[in-house]
Amino acid sequence: MATLRKRLLSGAGVNLYGQIITILTQLASLPIFLSIWSVEEYGVWLLMTSIPAYILMSDCGFIAVAMNRVCVLVGAGKENDARSLYRAQIALTTIICLFVASVSAIIIFILDFKIGNSLDGGVALYLLILAALIHVYSGIFDTVFRACNIYTKGTFFLESSRLIEWVGAVAGVYCYKSYLGAAAGWLCGRTLAAIGMYIYILQKYSLYKPGFSKANWQEMWLLKKDAYAWMMMKVGDSLNIQGMSILVGNILGPAALTYFNAYRTMARCILQGTSALTHAFWPEFSRLAGESNTDALASFFRKSKLITFASALTLAAGLLLISKPLLFYWSHGKIEFSWHTMLLIVVYGVICAYWYTIRIYLMTQNRLFQMSNLYNVIAVTTVSISLLLSDQLTLNLIIIVILVAEAVSAIAASILSRVSNE
């Protein structure tokens, strides 16, 4: 029990470290880049860096579900099967990355795709795409870290690589004051971090030396249903987050969208706070499933939900206490505070945080298929209801609609998790 508690605390700590990196780099980027570029030039850079974000989905979910399966096989003592699937994961990732790199090169260089007024814009975008593909490849390293029970150390390496690539971009823009310089620095930082992790794995875990021999393609193909489910959950997330933002902006206008996003961002801080714990539960779910220790898995899952719910309530209470001055100073007094809106959005945030643990549990057991279909039906229904109510739509009504949608998702996920335990 003491060992498990230590693993969970260290896992939560390293995930919190990742959250801090995200916050610091986001806050620091604006003044640093604007000290070199104009507002328009920095806007183009933001556009450039947003495009490769979609590259991270190019594996179609196979890397994540294969990682889960490898960890389960290791937990079951099937090391040879785990390594065969790991090599298939490497081979598939290599094929995907080479394909995306080739298609991107054709679009950017042969079809003369341009971004911004600078001549180096296309080359810079391609370098950012290459960095994103190396990031995709990092999923392979994550598989080794989890399979070898060094989740904390591995996550520290992976989170630090984000900081290294950002520092590289800052160094590049200071030295060359161009998109190409920033992108080259970004790519160098990501490449150096990947090389460092590769060398570490070779030295410490030679049994998981990257290679293509004895790759178990049959096992990888059997994961296609779970990979589809993983991708569909991402689609549902996009409908719930970006889709609702577009809908609010079109129906209620840009000002209402600003209000909506401000309140929802504060509420999702509850989810971000509890996710440090939730992601620490992830490798434990996989390990217990591999050991076929059904009773221990069910007990740990129940405790995980309780811990998440208690943490979410604590964060919600803290958020409510500081929400009024926080919104005032954050928005420079431009966004009006409403207790009704705040209470509704905080309940929404608690529900999101609570069922995210259930979602992670279903994901680590590769049992997301039914949930992914339900989740997208709920997301489409949410958008459709909002459109039907467009004439009566208000900010609070929108929040009630998404709150109910999350509650229905939470109930559905809870039912499916109980079925999977039986």
pLDDT tens by residue, 253-286: 877 877 887 888 888 888 888 888 888 888 888 7
Mean of per-residue pLDDT scores for the chain: 85
pTM value is: 0.77
Would you give the distance in Å from CA 79 to the centre of its chain? Answer: 28
CA atoms of 339 and 300, how far apart (whole Å): 36
pLDDT tens by residue, 368-396: 888 888 898 998 998 888 888 878 888 88
E strands within 94-243?
none
CA atoms of 411 and 47, how far apart (whole Å): 38
Alpha-carbon separation of residue 381 from 214, 349, 393 (angstroms): 45, 20, 16
Check whether 338 has a pLDDT greater than 60. Answer: yes
Please give the single-letter amino acid code of residue 353.
A
Q: Which two tokens stand for residue 260?
A: 């909506």
CA atoms of 252 and 389, how far apart (whole Å): 12
pLDDT tens by residue, 32-45: 888 888 877 777 78
Work out the pLDDT band at 117, boundaries 50, 70, 90.
low
Domains of the chain, residue spans: 2-219, 224-421
